[in-house]
Amino acid sequence: MAATYRQVEHTADFAIEVEADSLPELFEAATRGMFEIILGSPPKARAAELPNWRPVEVRGADLGELLVNWLGELLALYALETVLPAGVRNLRIGDGRAAGVVGFVPLGSAEPETELKAVTYHDVAVELRDGRWRARIVFDV
């Protein structure tokens, strides 16, 4: 089954719920969901745009903290360098770290619809239930 994400109602902030078969798919779907909030539509790399691939690694005490730190790192790179993640390769999650190679493309002329200030620890949850990984993440706007 494909990984999914959806926006959910949350007072004064944005939140998404994510579901996937594996932890790497969960993190990737959460990344797509976060950038869909920012852009107002699913992020798409332009066909002619070749990603600049580079390693990204974060640490955390548990899966919730790892997910928040992963998304926070990508949000910081977006804000500082005006780049969008176009794909993730070799994402490994375990032993208190999430590490992979992320392909970034320039934001270009895409106009952000929503400014996210931060990925929060409020209400964060990552769990394995009925054979599927599920997460809830809240974003500060």
- Which class is 4-140 in CATH? alpha beta
39 φ/ψ angles, rounded to the nearest 5 degrees:
-90, -20
Count the alpha carbons within 13 Å of 42 in the hemisphere toward its beta carbon: 8
CA–CA dist 128, 134 (Å, integer): 6
Angle between helices 63-81 and 23-39 (to 10 degrees): 40
Q: What is the pLDDT along the chain (141 residues), one digit of tens a residue?
A: 788 777 776 565 889 999 999 999 999 999 999 999 998 876 665 545 688 999 999 999 999 999 999 999 999 999 999 999 988 999 999 999 999 999 999 987 778 888 999 999 998 999 999 999 999 999 998
21 φ/ψ angles, rounded to the nearest 5 degrees:
-80, -25
User: CA separation (Å) from 45 to 17, 87, 105?
Assistant: 24, 9, 7
pLDDT of residue 7: 74
CA–CA dist 16, 11 (Å, integer): 13
Q: What is the CA radius of gyration of the chain?
A: 14
Nearest CA among 140, 132, 141, 139 for reference residue 19: 132
The neighbouring-strand residues paired with 54 are: 102
pLDDT of residue 44: 60
What pTM, to 2 d.p., does this model score?
Answer: 0.88
Alpha-carbon dihedral sign for residues 8, 10, 16, 19: negative
